Amino acid sequence: MTDNKRPLKTLDRVLSKAGLGSRTEARSWIGAGRVRVNGQLIQTPDHWVDLKRDKVTLDGKPVKAGEKLYLLLYKPTGYLTTYDDPEGRPTVYDLIKDVGQFLVNVGRLDLDTSGLLIMTNDTQFAELVTNPDFKVPKTYLVKASTLLSDEHLDQLRQGLVLSDGPTKPAIVKRLRDSGKYTHLEITITEGRNRQVRRMIEALEAKVLKLVRVAIGPISIGDLKIGQYRNLTPAEVSLLTQKKDI
């Protein structure tokens, strides 16, 4: 048993949180005998480390906590929200190679969705932002494959029943109808897999284009596609405040 009041973390997590690499990479380093704790060779990734008392080294160099980073990335379509892809497809990590620290993505965007993605080495922040209790709203621009009626939009506003249960009411705004397509803005506070696409499919339509344009109070603004910027301390604070919506 461990004392929950002590700052204990598994060894692989310590290496990852220090910005050195993913937990998978950390486990391989540990297994290869490159990591020591207080001078002792440790080859068990789940070995508990007390961050206030233990000295961890990788290849003989001390492992120190990295500076906390919070990035806002404008993800293009065609990029996976994952660290590595066996098929060699581009990932969001290809866009932040110059950062110099390992970051985790806060939530996901699928291959065919573009827009805002937060990346950080602060796992506690990431857990808070993705926690449903904080109800961080995400706003998307949608191009639907058919003309959607006002009744369709009201269904989105009231909530739909999907395969994994009913959705919470969404904020929906019709932007325009062009030809046979409806363009709309939709804001949700849940983080289900492919949720917006599935909501539109429940209306017997498909999403032709999907862009996440805002996360909470943070919008794309002048950020160029494929580029990123640092979040301000005020933005970080706003994202971890509980919302009553």
99 three-state secondary structure? helix
Q: Is there a catalytic annotation at residue 3?
A: no
Residue 43 CB neighbour total at 10 angstroms: 14
CA atoms within a 13 Å half-sphere pointing along the CA-CB vector of 221? 12
Token pair, residue 127, equals 């857990």
CA distance 77 to 225: 10
DSSP 118-133: EEES-HHHHHHHH-GG
Residue found by looking up tokens 């046979």 in the block:
180
CA distance 20 to 128: 22
The catalytically annotated residue of 110, 154, 164, 177 is 110
Tell how far CA 123 is from the center of its chain: 11
CA distance 127 to 202: 29
113 CB-near residues (< 8 Å, 6+ apart) = 75, 77, 210, 211, 212
> At residue 14, what are phi and psi to the nearest 5 degrees?
-60, -45
85 three-state secondary structure? coil
* Identity of the amino acid at 4: N
Q: Which residues are catalytic?
A: 110
